[in-house]
Structure 1
Amino acid sequence: MILDFIRDLGLGAWAWIVGGLLLLGIEVLAPGNIFVWFGLAAVFTGVVSILADLSWQVGLLVFAVSSVVFVIVGRRFFARSTESDEPLLNRRMDRFVGRVFTLSEPIVGGVGTIRVNDAKWRITGPDLPSGTRIRVTGHDGAVLTVDQEDAASGG
């Protein structure tokens, strides 16, 4: 029914081009990198329709095939890289592992705190007096696991 309406309008190639431009406009308003491929496929179908005077059935087939091709090629060549020059940027706890700090307060009963810059962090580890150098060996949620620096370095 809708396809008959489009065919009766006699727009043909221009309907594909205008539709493609509308899809490209939607991409600007609702970014997500998906409408752009369908918009490009519609514009491509319009250009092919101008050059080859396609029927609406063939135009629809060209649009379907070119949409799949544009999506696959576009996703492959324009995929966002997940690699970062700072892989621990959003993994704050992992950034502490291996670092050495000095206890300002003792670890009592296996629990204590350390101050890193302006933040206080809960720590777990062996009972140690204040002034001891400790090395962060891991974390359990938001609690850092520590060990005495000499013991952690093997001597």
Structure 2
Amino acid sequence: MPDWIANMEPHWAWLSLGVLLAAAEIVAPGFFLIWLGGAAVITGIVAWVLPIGVPLQLGIFAVLAVIILYGARKWLRDNPIVSTDPLLNQRGGRLIGEVLTVTQAIEDGRGRAKVGDGEWPVRGPDAAEGTKVRVVSADGGVLVVEAV
């Protein structure tokens, strides 16, 4: 082991671990490592201020990690993150209410309609090619339509 690691004061190791865990949260977000990083930083500050041994520091880290994780979980359950755009990644849902032109006649409840510069499969009442239909819902990648 290099001398600089063997001679490192424990509080610097805790502070470094905290920063490393926070950076790992940025690289691989999961909203978990940041709390462990916070526990490591607090442990580093306590180890810097108080002359305590490494076993006690490990105990402080373990207790802080459990408390912080439990507290964050409870806070997130009580204050859920609500999206300002709930249909952000649901393209079919975003098309509800749009009027489309049938490009392949809807026969036996199935056909295709023009959406932007492409075509989507549609399901609804029979309609001839060129008919205007309105999207009422989305079922996976299939748009459910009705006559306009």
Q: Could you state the TM-score of these two structures normalised by the residue count of structure 1? A: 0.64
2:133 corresponds to: 134
CA displacement 1:78-114 (0-9 Å, x = unmatched):
xx96422221121111122232223355323433221
Aligned to 1:18: 13
Give the Å deviation of 1:27.
3.6
Deviation at 1:74, TM superposition (A): 5.0
Identify which of 46, 64, 70 aligns with 1:66.
Answer: 64
Q: Which runs of 4+ in 1 moved over 6 A?
A: none
* Greater radius of gyration (CA): 1
Q: 3-state SS of the aligned residue for 2:107?
A: coil
One-letter code of the match for 1:60?
L
Q: Give the number of equivalent residue pairs.
A: 137
Deviation string 1:2-59 (CA, Å, 9 cap, x unpaired) is xxxxxxx897xx3143233134225425544544433443443344345443344433
1:110–1:31 Cα change, 3 Å = closer
Give the 3 Å change call, closer, same or farther, for CA 22–140 of structure 1 in structure 2.
closer
Q: Percent identity?
A: 31
Q: Indicate conservation of the 8 Å contact 2:21/2:37, yes or no.
A: no
CA deviation string 1:105-150 (max 9, x = no partner): 532343322111101112222222344332222233322222212x
Alignment of 1:77-96 (within 5 A): 82-96=81-95
Give the partner amino acid of 1:107. Answer: I
- The structure whose residues are more often strand, as a share, is 2
